[in-house]
Amino acid sequence: MDNIDLSPLKAVAEARVAEEQQRAKAHRASSASDKPRFVAKDHPADRPAASPFVAGTTATTSVTSSTSDTGARGSNELPTVIELTEANFEAMMQLSNYVPIVIDLWAEWCQPCKQLTPVLEKLAAEYQGKWILAKANTEKEPVLAQAFKVQSVPTVVAMAKGHPLDAFAGAQPEPQLRGWLDALMNAVNGRLSPLPADGNIPGLEAFGGLVAADAVSEAAPATIVDQAEALADTGDYAAAEALLVDHLEHNPGDHAAESACALYQTLARAATTDEDTIVYADEHPADISAQCDAADREMTEVGAEAAFTRLLTTIARTTGEERAEARKHLVNLFAMCDPTDPLVIAARQQLASLLF
């Protein structure tokens, strides 16, 4: 990732950090005899190695997790989610010397953001302070968007020791996010500064509005179907289908995902047909491909009954490979629908009577 332009942030942030440092110093002096809140491992404080990721992409889930090696970074004393602003940006940079920061740059109007952020919040709670999610509203914090050179939202940036390690844009499925985070843990393992024995972490006090693990977004974590829908809403049916196909390979029998996958397959096919597809199919009843194309258009524009009737009629008057093609297409359309729908039940019964 390109170097972050910190100049727009310096004036406000430096003043805020200086104030927080004075407060932290005074606090340490008054509580030097207190029992330490953290027991830190002896980690070297050198800068993290070069990221194993490719900027702008996500790591695969094959990366082995090493979160158990992060020691005190899993302490409940660390927040799981913070709100990042221009004023506390420099404090966040200080905090990244001790714990990785995952910055979620989002916007209110962004539908993919609404899918991604709850998943990140859920994962942040699961990791229990091994990394911190910093949420930045780009509409309220345009200087942050400028500093990170944000071109689209959501954009996610991983920071450690004040340096960006990796970034990606767009909503990602939970399995890929987990792999990406595990790779991040591996990249920084043993390379961050040890947590102060007195528990006073530089930069932490700047975040007065901390969000605890039990106070993350109450919205339900985005399901795989929600994530696919977010992709489909952008018109990328192929990406939505690919996401669901991958999910179904590892989770066979997920009927909601199967139905959504069939829907996006149909929408993708229908999008490649002409407006006169239905008229053409009516005029060329022997053209099986035309009947299938017309059924797709009817399924998405007219209704399931018209599509089912067309394909059942085609199956009734064909044999061999042509019949098999029409039957396969009809079964795929069935997969989009609620299996308890009377229309689907009737069509399945009619199909069975035609075949057997």
Catalytic site residues? 110, 113
- Cβ neighbours of residue 332 under 8 Å, at least 6 residues apart? 262, 265, 266
Give the number of other CB atoms < 10 A from CB of residue 352.
9
The alpha carbon of 267 is separated from its chain's Cα centroid by a whole number of angstroms, namely 23
Residue in 201, 195, 166 with CA at minimum distance from that of residue 181:
166
The alpha carbon of 352 is separated from its chain's Cα centroid by a whole number of angstroms, namely 41
Q: In the structure encoding, which two tokens stand for residue 264, read together?
A: 């996006």
Give the number of other CB atoms < 10 A from CB of residue 31.
12
Give the number of other CB atoms < 10 A from CB of residue 200.
18
Residue 20 phi/psi, 5-degree rounding, is -70, -35
- Cβ neighbours of residue 39 under 8 Å, at least 6 residues apart? 71, 72, 197
Q: Supply the angle between the helices 237-250 and 224-233 in degrees, to the nearest 10.
A: 170
Report d(CA 346, CA 301) in Å as an integer.
Answer: 21
Whether a cis peptide bond, with omega within 30° of 0, leads into 154 is yes
Would you give the end-to-end CA distance of the chain in angstroms?
A: 61
